Amino acid sequence: MVARLAARIGLKKIIHLIPFDAPGGVETAALSAPHIRGATFDFQVRVLFPGELTPNLWRRSLNPAAYLVWVRRLVVAAPDVLIVSLWRAAIIGVVCKRLCPSIQLVVFLHNTKFAHRVDAWATRMAVTRATEIWSDSRATIDATFPQFSQLRSRIVSYIPCAFEPVADPRPAPVFVFWGRLARQKNLQRAIRLFAAVLERLPAARFAIVGPDGGEGDALRRLCRTLSLQNAVSFLGPKSQHELPGVAQAASFFLFTSEFEGMGLAVVEAMQMGLVPVVTKVGEVGVYCRDGVNAIVIDRDELAVAAIIAAIEAPEAFARLRANAIATWSGKRTYRDDVLGNCARLLDGGVSENTLSERRPRS
């Protein structure tokens, strides 16, 4: 009904297609602006396979018939701009562009590595047909499609919202992580690093927040092997609104991912006043500067020493914390950046001055 109304009154239609609405950086950013109606545009996020990411939903997401249904829906909707994130959406974007050449296809890249061969194939197919490539960071572009000029690629802010500092300003050996419990995040290294801190500081605690991405059982086994059951807690998934409550009692955000794009969780943690302890991956290695606003992990034993030194020197910890907060203060949000880039793509059909938000009618 919304699509028919938009067509009738001449609104430009913009659709951002994502595969799932499960917790994750892509979903968090996209769903921070799920439906925005302006004077001359209608912007919507569509989820291919909504709901809890169960094994049954995962199987459904591999059914070709589901993709044909979505292609038909989008051809009927005939958006002026179609933004696709991740390989499932990219496949649909390729077919829609072939059937409706007038659609301006935007491929949104979110990581410095492809998940598998199908991801690489689908994304490359979409990129070669895209009007533009958007990315969460320059590191992602450089690692995946460095051959595309600045004219065809754009860096889009990946900050869904501005969080207020909530973490305790007094340093304590309290750590937190939030994100998918997946192999990419290399939480086994984080747990082992934490165990080394616990040997020196018996009051240390580590809270792990997020849905199981295949590593949950292995991580719990490792905690039992290292006798960490009383020091490490698995809190399960939390909504974005619940994250500040998780961060309140902590001092450090422990992030040992093997590869990333922007690393949205690190950005959120820094805004909340947590000092990031991070591996130098993707864009995280650009905005996290060792000894300035973060502790960057090179060798684990050196990172442990730096953590303990920061806890034992409150003034040094306060400087790290203040610089972490200042890193993201006043930055443009995802919503504003996406809409601004859509305005530019639509060639003046939508200007940034007309992007005043109105609550859409159901």
Quick: pLDDT tens for 245-270: 999 999 999 999 998 888 999 999 99
Evaluate whether residue 116 is within a structural domain: yes
d(CA 328, CA 362): 35
Q: How confident is the model at residue 151 (pLDDT cuts 50, 70, 90)?
A: low
Same domain, 67 and 27: yes
Evaluate whether residue 360 is within a structural domain: no
Alpha carbon separation from 325 to 135, 146, 267 (Å, rounded): 23, 31, 9
Same domain, 120 and 222: no
Evaluate whether residue 359 is within a structural domain: no
d(CA 360, CA 86): 27
**346, pLDDT greater than 90:** no
Same domain, 320 and 186: yes
What is the pLDDT averaged over residues 284-291? 95
d(CA 195, CA 198): 5
Evaluate whether residue 168 is within a structural domain: no
Evaluate whether residue 169 is within a structural domain: no
**3, pLDDT greater than 80:** no
Evaluate whether residue 297 is within a structural domain: yes
Same domain, 156 and 9: yes
Q: Which amino acid is located at 16 in the chain?
A: H
Q: How confident is the model at residue 159 (pLDDT cuts 50, 70, 90)?
A: confident
Same domain, 340 and 321: no
Alpha carbon separation from 4 to 1, 220, 332 (Å, rounded): 5, 51, 32
Q: How confident is the model at residue 132 (pLDDT cuts 50, 70, 90)?
A: very high
Q: Residue 89, Cβ neighbours under 10 Å: how many?
A: 27
Same domain, 260 and 207: yes
CATH number at residue 227: 3.40.50.2000
Evaluate whether residue 167 is within a structural domain: no
Beta-carbon contacts of 171 under 8 Å, excluding residues fewer than 6 positions away, are: 251, 310, 311, 314, 317
Same domain, 6 and 142: yes
Q: Which domain holds residue 22?
A: 2-160+332-354
Give residue 294's pLDDT.
Answer: 98
Same domain, 202 and 99: no
What is the pLDDT averaged over residues 108-128? 93
d(CA 23, CA 210): 8
Same domain, 185 and 286: yes
**347, pLDDT greater than 80:** no
Phi, psi of 332 (to 5 degrees): -65, 145
Angle CA(200)–CA(205)–CA(209) in degrees, nearest 5?
140
**38, pLDDT greater than 90:** no
**358, pLDDT greater than 80:** no
Determine how β-strand 104-109 pairs with β-strand 132-135: parallel
Evaluate whether residue 165 is within a structural domain: no
Same domain, 223 and 336: no
**354, pLDDT greater than 60:** no
Same domain, 292 and 349: no
What is the pLDDT averaged over residues 58-65? 93
Total domains, the chain: 2
Same domain, 220 and 144: no
- Give the whole-number percent of the chain exceeding pLDDT 70: 91
